[in-house]
Amino acid sequence: MIKIIQYNLLALVAVFVARYLIVPMDHFNSDIGNYLWLPMGAVILAYLLFGFRVFPGLLVGYLLAEVVVEGGIANFAQHEVVSRVINTLLPLLSIWLMRKLNFSNFIVANKLNYVQLVPLVVLSAFTTTIVKAGLLYAPDQFSAGKVYFQSYVQGDILGGLIFIAVVFTIFSPALIRNKII
């Protein structure tokens, strides 16, 4: 039980820090996504390292970061809550799908297996963007649907891969020492 709490706290901090790091890159127009969405990598890596039980920590980290970034609870919309639930849940479903397809050796011999990690990040990016576009936005709400889709998918893929590679490289000795990988 203590480990689950620790893992949830680590996941919360990872998502919060990842989201806060990209605030300068946020765009004033919601039609254009952030071109380096680091929280996608934080979510995927947390699931790969700690399992599905970190969902609450990831979701709270996302929501807490959005409250801070948006400037308080008054500026925090219901749309943000649904969007963050999607961002937290769909990478888990992507991992589950890839495991069902026997395509899930993401970490082999304490090293990242990019041959299987890249498709996971791409699948997660596409599913989150498609589901958010379908559930949260009316088609006429966007001035340029192609720009929306392209920028959000690109940001998720780049942010996911960069976050996972950098964090895994920096913290792999600690992960090995603590028998997490």
What CATH number did the domain enclosing 7 receive? 1.10.1760
Asked if pLDDT for residue 27 goes beyond 70, the answer is no
Report the domain count for the chain.
Answer: 1
d(CA 39, CA 11): 10
97 against 136, higher pLDDT: 97
Q: For 41-94, write each residue's pLDDT tens digit.
A: 999 999 999 999 999 999 999 999 988 887 777 666 777 888 899 999 999 999
Separation between Cα atoms, residue 86 and residue 106, nearest integer Å: 22
If residue 112 lies in a helix (H) or strand (E), which one and from where to where? strand 111-112
Q: Which domain holds residue 34?
A: 2-177
Task: Centre a 10 Å sphere on the Cβ of residue 169 and count the other Cβ atoms it contains.
Answer: 10
B/e letters for 32-65, b = 16+ CB within 10 Å, e = fewer, are bbbebbbbbbbbbbbbbbbeeebbebbbbbbbbb
CA atoms of 174 and 179, how far apart (whole Å): 8
40: pLDDT strictly greater than 70: yes
163 pLDDT band, cuts 50/70/90, is: very high
Q: How confident is the model at residue 32 (pLDDT cuts 50, 70, 90)?
A: low
Q: Which residues of 121-140 are buried (b: 16+ CB within 10 A; e: fewer)?
A: bbbbbbbbbebbbeeebeee
3-state secondary structure of 108: strand
Q: Is the pLDDT of residue 1 over 80?
A: yes
Distance CA 153, CA 77 (A): 22
| Percent of the chain whose predicted confidence (pLDDT) is above 70 | 89
Q: Which of 65-79, 80-94, 95-109, 166-180 has the lowest mean pLDDT?
A: 65-79
CA distance linking residue 155 with residue 170, whole number of Å: 22
Distances (CA, A) of 177 to 2, 131, 152, 173: 18, 38, 36, 6
Q: According to the model, what pLDDT value does residue 133 have? A: 81
